[in-house]
Amino acid sequence: MRQNPSGRVLVLGDNDLAALAIVRSLGRYGLTVHLAAFESKPIARRSRYVSQIHDLGHPLADGERFVRGVLGLAQQQGFDLIVPTSDKSLTPLMPHRDELNRHAHFVAPDDVGFEFTSNKDQTLSKASELGIPIPSTTLLSGPEALRGFQLPSDFPVVLKPQASTRAGAVERNEVRIVHARESALEQLDRMLQRGPVLVQGYCPGYGVGLSVLGNAGEVVAAFQHQRVHEPPRGGAGSYRKSVPLDATLLEFARKFCAAIGWSGPAMFEYKVDPATGAAVLMEVNGRFWGSLALAIQSGVDFPRLQYDMAVLGKVQTTFAYRTPYYVRHTIRDVEWFRENALAPRGRPDLRKLGLGEVASEFWNIVTLREGYDIESIRDPMPAVAGWKWFLTDAARQLTRRASMKLGRRRFLRLARAASSPDSPLRAQARNARSILFLCYGNINRSPVAEQSLKAALGSASPVTVASAGFYPERDRSTGPVSESVARQLGLDLTGHRSQVVSQVLLQTHDLIVIMDAAQVQGLREMCPDQLRKAVPLSTFGDTDRDLEIPDPHGKGQEFFEKVYRRIMHCVAGLARELAAGVARNHQPPASD
């Protein structure tokens, strides 16, 4: 590592708020900031404080390329500091931590610290050992762990992946809050195929974050904030305020950091019950965090403190800051206002604010106690880019909604046209020798239809039957509720694995049987000429009901059974059409 500071730093990440806050902090400090860009909608790379951008590929999609790129830059550029801003960039680089530290100060925990912050079960286990309150938690390590597992009797229940990221998957592993046994089993079965899951009791209250900077186990800087706007059903807060340090929560953080010898930034997330004031630790982020801009604007500039400590050897203890001060993510707040307005009242598991509480926030702007995550007079382009993408996405959603309405009208016309026994579509169905059932995920409706038709036709039938879905992930199994209901109805879905629909599949089947309007839209976007072969399954059953067959995903057992019985009834009608077609095609010619 260089003995004399070069004044250059490398920030890894460009679409998360932490990256933007770090770039602005270190850029204003007079450092030369390089950025490793890998997101599809970058915000940080638009900052005036970025002097050079490096395209290293996405760290989770192509980890080897990303690691090679970072190591190469570290050797060539002589950075003082290399700063990962999310688990996406931190996780693949951890095995190379020592090598990176030979060229620059890599802002990452040691192996012990990483173990206790990246794996949530290890975090909570260590916290419990230290006497820090945690939620009731059970770790499940694979789909087989569901056998014999007793879900908590009290709902809602929180399902939390052990780790936020996984190699080869760009999307983040999401936390789920479920309100019924059936939906919990469905979600668990799906989540466990991606990795271990923590099943936690739900903790009511508001979110509190205690951010620290550690130095060999000692907390040398701390800041605390409270979420003001939290999505009613959970997620990142869009409006937050600084609050005074709570002595108890700070002591919890100190005990944790001392126990594992923590160095660097970390954020302890708590849930606080407003009725009792009791706090429980939810998780620890062993890196810089999304609400970092609030700490910086309130007076605790963690990135600058980290640079001074790691590069210059100056440790500045910082525990004083401005309170209350508010920071808003204006783009996210637009969605929060919509969700908050639509959220029902009287639900203890939903964080809903009244109109008066929301209106009072205007006073924070008047009294100059409010700042912003992305808007900045000194650095305006990240906000310009962010709002541009937001408005583009909003327009796309409006277009999609209009398209879905149009798709439903097309679906209804198609269903009515096919309902007549003399329609060309019915004739096409009778003459089909290969049939493809479509639904969204190919784990519930279409597999039941496929298995039902195969059973009805028998193994000697000349008709081939398959199923597929539009969800872009293959080899998924059906959930435990679906599997159980199907078994009760005489179908075995244990061996089913989903496949993704393709143009080849569509073109090689005589008849495409769909469940609802979404498949009409999917066909129009993928292969519109194949719509001529599409027919709604409901047209072979009771057409006096809603012509769409709804997706039971996430619903209870009774709903699954209702949908599956209807599918089997309609499939029986289709089987009769096919049998009639086979019989007609095999009739001997009339004699003279």
**Residues 209-245 pLDDT 10s:** 999 999 999 999 999 999 998 876 666 789 999 999 9
The pLDDT confidence band at residue 592, using thresholds 50, 70 and 90, is very low
Residue 587 has pLDDT above 60, yes or no: no
Residue 143 has pLDDT above 50, yes or no: yes
Over residues 514-525, the mean pLDDT reads 89
Please write the tens of the pLDDT for every residue from 362-376.
Answer: 999 999 999 999 999
pLDDT: which is higher, 363 or 355: 363
The whole-number pLDDT of residue 583 equals 61
The pLDDT confidence band at residue 171, using thresholds 50, 70 and 90, is low
Which residues make beta-bridge pairs with 210?
Answer: 224, 268
Note whether 234 and 337 are same-domain residues: yes
Residue 175 has pLDDT above 90, yes or no: no
Please write the tens of the pLDDT for every residue from 251-307.
Answer: 999 999 999 999 999 999 999 988 888 899 999 999 999 999 999 999 999 999 999
Over residues 44-67, the mean pLDDT reads 90
The residue type found at 546 is D
Give the range of the structural domain holding residue 271, as residue numbers without chain letter.
206-379
Note whether 441 and 500 are same-domain residues: yes
Note whether 436 and 297 are same-domain residues: no
Residue 591 has pLDDT above 90, yes or no: no
Q: Collapse the DSSP code of 582 into the 3-class scheme (helix H, G, I; strand E, B; otherwise coil) and give the result.
A: helix
Over residues 492-519, the mean pLDDT reads 92
Note whether 146 and 274 are same-domain residues: no
The pLDDT confidence band at residue 312, using thresholds 50, 70 and 90, is very high
Q: In whole angstroms, give the CA distance from residue 537 to residue 519.
A: 12
Please write the tens of the pLDDT for every residue from 11-30.
Answer: 998 778 999 999 999 999 99
Q: In whole angstroms, give the CA distance from residue 531 to residue 471.
A: 19
Q: Give the end of a domain, one of 108, 123, 146.
A: 108
pLDDT: which is higher, 320 or 420: 320
Note whether 237 and 328 are same-domain residues: yes
Q: Collapse the DSSP code of 424 into the 3-class scheme (helix H, G, I; strand E, B; otherwise coil) and give the result.
A: helix
Note whether 210 and 194 are same-domain residues: no
Q: Determine, yes or no, domain membership for 390.
A: no
Sheet with 105-106, strands from edge to edge, namely: 50-55, 32-37, 8-12, 81-84, 105-106
pLDDT: which is higher, 556 or 311: 311
Q: What is the mean pLDDT of the chain?
A: 87
Q: Determine, yes or no, domain membership for 394.
A: no
Note whether 497 and 447 are same-domain residues: yes
Note whether 253 and 310 are same-domain residues: yes
Q: 104, 1 in Cβ contact below 8 A? A: yes
